[in-house]
Structure 1
Amino acid sequence: MLDIRWIRDNPEALDAALEKRGAASESAALIALDEERRAHVARVQDAQARRNAASKEIGAAMASGETEKAEALKAEVADLKQFLSTAEETERDLDARLRDALARVPNVPLDDVPVGADEDANVEVRRSGEKRTFDFEPKEHFELGEALGQMDFEVAARMSGARFTLLNGGLARLERALGQFMLDVHTTEHGYTEVNPPLLVRDDALFGTAQLPKFAEDQFRTTTDHWLIPTAEVPLTNIVRETIIDHDYLPRRYTALTPCFRSEAGSAGRDTRGYLRQHQFYKVELVSITDAETSIEEHERMTRCAETILERLGLHFRTMVLSTGDMGFAARKTYDLEVWLPGQGAYREISSCSVCGDFQARRMNARYRPEGEKGTRFVHTLNGSGVAMGRALIAVMETYQQADGSIAVPDVLRPYMGGIDVIGAGG
């Protein structure tokens, strides 16, 4: 959420930022709402001051025998009390209207983010690894998985419907191995603290990370008014909600391996075949909480942590900086890692790392106390995939496939596979 004080001081900057995102101007409407709220608060303060003054004047008028004046003052106080009796509710309503309006305004992109309407304006930063060459026609992951008898879409559909998959045997173990490998690297080498968070959260947690109210249709809601997490970003970032952190304890870095749940409301007809876009999937998430001065540096660091995973898996990928029209609602800048899938012959996003500034922290009231300062500031938050396990499984399957349809296990995963180095039809 943006600061209304900043918007009042920089209306042109806000509208220019929104234009870069392809969104309509908002400053005039937001400032008008704020003016209405401020004017009402001023009237309340004036009414309270006048009520107090008039109450004292009543006593003086009674003491001096000015009965008519005292009665007029009593009538004035009664009118002021009537106004004040509803003023608090009106103020809450105005606060809520302004907060709701601010909650629907996206974050302001950093100056170095490429301007563009969509993914066509994304800019490649670097590439890593080489595309594998094959002496046979590489297959897509779902062809491989079904032929192995270890990736079953029909059984999952009978239980749960579309966009669910049942893994078994070697592929189920391979996906588990991927998650354990990622966690071990991030915790032992990259300094992240492993967390096992709740998978069900309340409205305010999703509001804090900006999934609500704008993206409610993309979430799954339970009958108990909890939400299934779309990513561990939500509970990990909310660890610091409504807290004040000593500066010495920053940065904080958290990681978690969790199932994630998304309705994929905006992806009708996209990637309906295979394991790429599911309602339920696993992901290793990275979250950092920093001060204002180090968040940009932390963004580069987090992206390198995710890149390290793909490098050690021996996968070819490219790192892209997203354009203003393609990056997420809460982000100021985003890097996407796009892994090469030989079966598809295409790059597909496998990790997204974003710096959000104080946008989420303002929604969560998460602050820190800078050294040598009496006041507090909002922390800066960052989140990234470290990485999506299902998409990593797809990339490993397609990159390490053999001519007979088996899957070679990457060297770094073999310690997690109980000595299995090839996944064949037998398991």
Structure 2
Amino acid sequence: MLDLKWIRENPDALDRALTNRGGEPLAAKLIELDKSRRAAITELQELQTKRNEASKKIGEKKRAGEDAEAEIAEVARLKSRLGELEEEEAKAGEALDELLAGIPNLPDADVPVGPDESANEEVRRWGEPKDYGFEPKQHFELGEALGGLDFETAGRIAGSRFTILRGPLARLHRALAQFMVNLHTEEHGYLEVIPPYLVRGETLYGTGQLPKFGEDLFRTTDDRWLIPTAEVPLTSLPAGQLLEEGEFPWRVTAWTPCFRSEAGAAGRDTRGMLRQHQFDKVELVSITLPEQSEEEHQRMTACAEKVLQLLELPYRTVVLSTGDMGFGARKTYDIEVWLPGQEAYREISSCSNCGDFQARRMNARYRPAEGGQPRFLHTLNGSGVAVGRALIAVMESYQQADGSIVVPEALRGYMGGLERISADA
């Protein structure tokens, strides 16, 4: 949610930012709606004062035995006009709120301008793709041959975009998640949280998923929603609260299932585990003071990168362009892991600084230590990392010519010492 006062003072900057994000200029429409609402409020207050004065005069005249018909008629007229103004103010306010709710966050000044992912800029690379000496297979070929990935049975049970994991591959998936949670809690200073997997609509509104992205979510019959990411409940921890400056930063992490309808992904990544309705992710969320958020963004991205470094998976980090960023982000780094089977880098983590955009929507504020008016907090979120995609990367990167998969050193303690997954394991 953007600050209306800032919009009134910076209409050109708003329109430029929206245009850079591929949207339409909206400043004039917002300002006009705001003017209408404010004018209705001002007239309401003036007429309420007049009505009160007229009502007082009626009482005085009646007590004095004088005729008060003119004042009674004036009160009736004012009452009718007040009703009209209340309706005008409500309609203008609803239209303004609806428009504001659909406006994305404004990009930072150093975010590359461009229409889509083609304008993303690479920041750094780590590791080099290896030469296997044979044609690497994709994860679904490896997993099906090992008997550890079963898409057919999952399809019969739940439909498309679901997977059943079995045996050592199921354990490898769990090992990856445990490894990530332990790393982030023991070495990176995050507090582990087990949040609700179902949330209310207002919670999704606060983090920016509603109303714009409702079709991408799963809704229950009692009007709750399955979380698309643990970002939603974790970021909402300070919602509606006024907290003390000295408490921050907060750093929390959670390993949860995530549920997405993938409504806009028809025909994309239909084979394998890359794009599922249900998947696991280890999420990182930071709640900070405004002056801390830029440094925290770099820190969070480094924490996610460390996962891939310890797993010895080559990756690159890119900063997303204005046309490729998520709705609530003002700046995003994507970490893309190398998948030998696809011969391509694919996203495995997005780390975003949302500034005060989400905090405004959920009214999360802090009281400055030096006094003064409460201020909005800043929120950041990132995958630390997507567990299923990490499994894909490990399977493809550690595959052998015979179709077996070597277990990375970092995970062997979670695998009971198992060093290799093969068809007879």
Q: TM-score, normalised by structure 1?
A: 0.97
Contact 2:121 2:318 in 1 (8 A): yes
Where do 1:28-427 residues align within 5 Å? 28-62=28-62, 66-67=66-67, 70-85=68-83, 87-88=85-86, 90-427=88-425
Structure-1 separation of matches of 2:311 and 2:85: 62
How far is 1:62 from its partner?
Answer: 3.9
User: What is the deviation of 1:270?
Assistant: 0.6
Aligned residue number for residue 22 of structure 1: 22
SS at 2:99 equivalent: helix
Counterpart CA distance in 1 for 2:253 and 2:292 is 19
Deviation at 1:91, TM superposition (A): 3.5
Q: 1:201 to 1:89 in 2, by over 3 A?
A: farther
Tell me, yes or no, if the aligned pair for 2:304 and 2:349 is still in contact at 8 Å: yes
Choose 345-354 or 26-35, whichever is displaced more: 26-35
Deviations 1:252-303 (A, max 9, x none): 1111000001111111111101111111000000111011111111111100
Per-residue deviation, residues 150-191 of structure 1 (Å, max 9, x unmatched): 101100000011100100001100000000000001111111
Tell me which moved more, 385-394 or 30-39. 30-39
- Structure 2's unaligned 5+ residue stretches are none
The CA distance in 2 between the partners of 1:251 and 1:170, in whole Å, is 38
Deviations 1:363-419 (A, max 9, x none): 101101111123101111000000000000000000000111111011110110011
Q: CA deviation at 1:52?
A: 1.2
Unaligned runs of at least 5 residues, structure 1: none
Measured in 2, the distance between the counterparts of 1:254 and 1:43 equals 48
Describe the SS at the equivalent of 1:256. Answer: strand
State how far apart, in whole Å, the 2-side matches of 1:160 and 1:282 are: 17
Cα distance, 1:56 vs structure 2: 2.1
Structure 2 contact 334–351 (Cα < 8 Å) conserved: yes
The one-letter code of the counterpart of 2:320 is L
Q: What SS does structure 1 have at the residue aligned with 2:195?
A: coil
Give 1:382's aligned amino acid.
L
Matched position secondary structure for 2:284? strand
Where does structure 1 differ by over 6 angstroms across 4 or more consecutive aligned residues?
A: none
Secondary structure of 1:175's aligned partner:
helix
SS in 1 for 2:5: helix
Report the number of matched residues: 425
Mapped to 2, the partners of 1:251 and 1:92 lie a distance apart of 38
Give the C-alpha shift of residue 63 in structure 1.
Answer: 5.1
* Secondary structure of the structure 1 residue equivalent to 2:236: helix
- 1:3 is matched with 3
Shift of 1:57: 2.1
Q: Secondary structure at the match of 1:170?
A: helix
Checking the alignment, whether the CA contact within 8 Å between 2:37 and 2:88 is kept in structure 1 is: no
Does the residue aligned with 1:78 lie in a helix, a strand or coil? helix
Distance 2:145 2:64 in 1: 102
Deviations 1:182-202 (A, max 9, x none): 000111111111110111111
Q: Tell me the distance in 1 between the aligned counterparts of 2:53 and 2:87.
A: 24
Partner-residue secondary structure (3-state), 1:180: helix
Q: Give how far 1:53 is off.
A: 1.2
1:365 and 1:93 map into 2 onto residues whose CA distance is 23
Local SS of the residue matching 1:334: strand
Note the aligned Cα RMSD (angstroms). Answer: 1.3
C-alpha distance in 1 between matches for 2:383 and 2:138:
23
Q: Is the 8 A contact 2:41 2:89 kept in 1?
A: yes
TM-score, L = length of structure 2: 0.98
**Secondary structure of 1:286's match?**
strand
Match of 2:291, SS state, is coil
Helix, strand or coil at the partner of 1:240: coil
Q: SS state of the match for residue 34, structure 1? A: helix
Q: Secondary structure at the match of 1:139?
A: coil
AA paired with 1:409? Answer: V
- How far does the alpha carbon of each residue in 1:80-108 deviate from its partner, in whole angstroms, 9 at most, with x for none? 23444565455444322211110001111
- The range that moved more, 210-219 or 52-61, is 52-61
Residue-by-residue CA offset, 1:306-335 (whole Å, 9 max, x unaligned): 001110000000000000000101100000
SS of residue in 1 equivalent to 2:270: coil
Secondary structure of 2:290's aligned partner? coil
Q: State whether residues 36 and 89 of structure 2, in contact with CA within 8 Å, keep that contact through their aligned partners in structure 1.
A: no
Q: How far apart, in 2, do the equivalents of 1:55 and 1:104 lie?
A: 43
